Amino acid sequence: MSKYDELPVYKATYDLLLAIFVFTKNFSREFKYTVGESLKKETIELITLIYRANSRRDKSETIQTAREHIEVIRLLIRLMKDMRQIGLKKFVEIKEKVENVSKQLAGRQKSQKK
């Protein structure tokens, strides 16, 4: 086990990734292979960026890119709620995971600027 996967932001993002893989299974065919795949790809890219940020001296640009990915994830999850692919309870659960990651990234970005 390397040190990056012990980071709270990495763990939170991995939990989000697991949740996304589970709940996209129930999307209708129309959304499973479009939005579902996009959600998975965005989240995998997000966790990759967190790994990269941790291994770089100047993390700010990588963290900013990660924050852009979390916004896309947030948008796609909201879209799936509005398209009735996820219920309110699951939406709230996933949204909390997204917010957790987003707050941690914002905190890391703020500490980089100091």
Residue-range domains of the chain with CATH: 3-108 (1.20.1440.60)
* 112 alpha-carbon distance from chain centroid: 20
pLDDT band of residue 114 (cuts 50, 70, 90) is: low
The per-residue pLDDT for range 14-60, each reduced to its tens digit, is: 999 999 999 999 999 999 999 999 999 999 999 999 999 888 888 88
Q: Given this model, what pLDDT does residue 1 score?
A: 42
Q: How far apart are CA 67 and CA 36, in angstroms?
A: 20
Mean pLDDT across 90-98? 96
Q: How far apart are CA 73 and CA 98, in angstroms?
A: 8
114 Cβ neighbours under 8 A, 6+ residues apart: none
Q: Is the pLDDT of residue 109 over 60?
A: yes
45 Cβ neighbours under 8 A, 6+ residues apart: 69
Q: Is the pLDDT of residue 2 over 80?
A: no
